Amino acid sequence: MTVETSVKTYQNYINGEWMSASSEGTLKSISPANKNEIIGYFQSSSKEDVDCAVQSAKEAKKTWRKLSGTDRGNYLYKAADLLESRVDEIAETMTREMGKTLPEAKGETMRGVAILRYYAGEGMRSVGDVIPASDSEAFMYTTRVPVGVVGVITPWNFPVAIPIWKMAPALIYGNTVVLKPAQETAITTTKIVECFHEAGFPQGVVNLVNGRGSVVGQSLINHPSINALTFTGSNTIGKQVAEGALARGAKYQLEMGGKNPIIIANDADVDFAVEATISGGLRSTGQKCTATSRVIVQAGIYEKFKAKLIEEVKKIKVGNGLNSDTWMGPCVSEGQLNTVLSYIEKGKQEGAVLLHGGKRAEGLEDGFYVEPTIFENVQSKMTIGQEEIFGPVLALIKVETLEEAFHLANDSEFGLSASIYTQNIGSMMDFIDEVEAGLVRVNAETAGVELQAPFGGMKNSSSHSREQGQAAKEFFTSTKTVFIKR
């Protein structure tokens, strides 16, 4: 029986107003913990709705960019306060809508608060330099100017943090935005935009258009008045974003897949390394672009590490993320569950040895639950050794030397994050120097990202730009050089 308790229909947000899609159609959001529970309805928008939102952002950009950085920052501070006041409500919505456990959802929401406050402060920072001119009677300097209207396309796995870490820098540097969130978490993201609305942002500065990616996302990619596109998601869609933006000369930024390795050296602290492997690979049900996927272990410590890993993974409680005893929730959707199960079957077919898990969690058939899964005897060229699974699957690979470990860590089309556990300073430095990843961590899990530091990948993990921290201004602004002759 379908549960529809207090179900609400959420509207788009365009030009400072909440409105239904022009088609008047809606889509439903269901709980991954219980496929019979409807969380709410959201708009199934059309190209016309995107056109309206983009036009609104275009009309607002001149007035918004003329505000001082301090004034723009004050709006972000207000939005942060409002988001913080609703942390419990928004975190619970996130857990119900995409399955992340409630403590993780609260942590993510508070991270969104911190990001807003960080970028609010950026409004007071320098945006240029004075450069000596060759002419003694001239004054020369640089400044930064906004790129214009930014299309923001975000995924479901971090429905608060990722939209905010894109929108906050875009806004503080004087741009206006049109946000298209993932369908799976449309309601959670809409509640973020409610905070921007209540903060009093001027009409047209922030716009939200929900709906199908094939319609709304594609319309943003192709729209002639979108000056820049920032995207996080799959490599397949990322390439479409890049091709569409390049075809019309728009700026674009992509953060895509990862096949992130953790290297366990012979001298590693096994307990800490196991803890990091489990946390990095299985929290959020492995649905992180920086999640640990390949576990490369030196032979001298392999059996001890494997035994401890299996022992600890067996303790994991799978269930509804709203329950306090749940460590790992469901996959976000039935489609994602089936994708994970198909990779598990592929691993078995290609000769990897299943050590633990490997099937749907028993007794939880109404949700999209899969057991935490461990394979060994994984070869690098196997499908589960190369392709991003985006689920709670760990692939153990045994090596003799660290040189072999570094080689295997780099044997991937991706280069997002990587980590090593070792006590040897030389091994640490060799790892940092040799591993091809945008984020490298020593004696820490692969899945840690700091809001004040640049984030992005190498190879096919990104478009080689960086998000977060002060590096964000490189994408959301252009440099203008000014020469003044007396």
Q: What is the pLDDT of residues 97-116, one digit of tens each?
A: 999 999 999 999 999 999 99
Q: Quick check: is 1 in a domain?
A: no
- Residue 444: what residue type? A
The 10 Å Cβ neighbour count of residue 331 is: 26
Phi and psi for 91 in degrees, rounded to 5? -65, -40
Single out the catalytic residue among 37, 97, 122, 255: 255
- Residue 298: what residue type? Q
Q: Quick check: is 208 in a domain?
A: yes
Q: 65 with 202, same domain?
A: yes
Q: Does residue 153 contact residue 231 with C-beta atoms inside 8 Å?
A: yes
The mean pLDDT of 453-462, rounded to a whole number, is 97
Q: 105 with 237, same domain?
A: yes
Q: 246 with 267, same domain?
A: no
Checking if the pLDDT of 185 tops 70, the result is yes
The mean pLDDT of 290-318, rounded to a whole number, is 98
The mean pLDDT of 292-301, rounded to a whole number, is 98
Q: Quick check: is 455 in a domain?
A: no
Question: 331 is in which domain, residue-wise?
Answer: 260-450
Q: What is the pLDDT of residues 113-133, one digit of tens each?
A: 999 999 999 999 999 999 999
Q: 243 with 391, same domain?
A: no
Q: How far is CA 475 from CA 164, 169, 230, 437, in A?
A: 15, 9, 9, 20
Q: 300 with 271, same domain?
A: yes
Q: Quick check: is 265 in a domain?
A: yes
Checking if the pLDDT of 455 tops 90, the result is yes
Q: 221 with 269, same domain?
A: no
Q: 99 with 24, same domain?
A: yes
362 assigned to active site: no
pTM of the model: 0.96
> Strand 292-298 and strand 393-399: pairing?
parallel
**Which pLDDT score, from 0 to 100, does residue 1 have?**
43
Q: Quick check: is 230 in a domain?
A: yes
pLDDT band of residue 24 (cuts 50, 70, 90) is confident
The 10 Å Cβ neighbour count of residue 324 is: 9
Q: 264 with 252, same domain?
A: no
Which alpha helices (H) appear in 363-472, and where do they start and end?
383-386, 402-409, 425-434
Q: 423 with 314, same domain?
A: yes
**Which pLDDT score, from 0 to 100, does residue 250 have?**
97
Which alpha helices (H) appear in 123-251, and where do they start and end?
161-172, 186-198, 218-222, 235-248
The mean pLDDT of 123-145, rounded to a whole number, is 95
Q: 362 with 422, same domain?
A: yes
Q: How far apart are CA 6 and CA 137, in angstroms?
A: 70
The mean pLDDT of 359-368, rounded to a whole number, is 96
Q: Quick check: is 131 in a domain?
A: yes
Checking if the pLDDT of 3 tops 90, the result is no
- Residue 317: what residue type? K
Reduce the DSSP state of residue 203 to 3 states and report it.
Answer: coil
Total structural domains in the chain? Answer: 2
Q: 201 with 57, same domain?
A: yes
Q: 387 with 422, same domain?
A: yes
Q: What is the pLDDT of residues 306-352, one digit of tens each?
A: 999 999 999 999 999 999 999 999 999 999 999 999 999 999 999 99
**Which pLDDT score, from 0 to 100, does residue 62 have?**
97
Distance in Å from the first CA to the final CA of the chain = 78
* CATH number of the domain enclosing 51: 3.40.605.10
**Which pLDDT score, from 0 to 100, does residue 23 have?**
87
pLDDT band of residue 5 (cuts 50, 70, 90) is very low
Checking if the pLDDT of 6 tops 80, the result is no
Q: How far apart are CA 160 and CA 137, in angstroms?
A: 51
* CATH number of the domain enclosing 422: 3.40.309.10
Q: Does residue 84 contact residue 164 with C-beta atoms inside 8 Å?
A: no
Checking if the pLDDT of 445 tops 70, the result is yes
Q: What is the pLDDT of residues 190-205, one digit of tens each?
A: 999 999 999 999 999 9
> Strand 260-264 and strand 417-421: pairing?
parallel
Q: Quick check: is 330 in a domain?
A: yes
Q: Does residue 355 contact residue 374 with C-beta atoms inside 8 Å?
A: yes
Mean pLDDT of the chain: 97
Checking if the pLDDT of 299 tops 60, the result is yes
Q: Quick check: is 283 in a domain?
A: yes
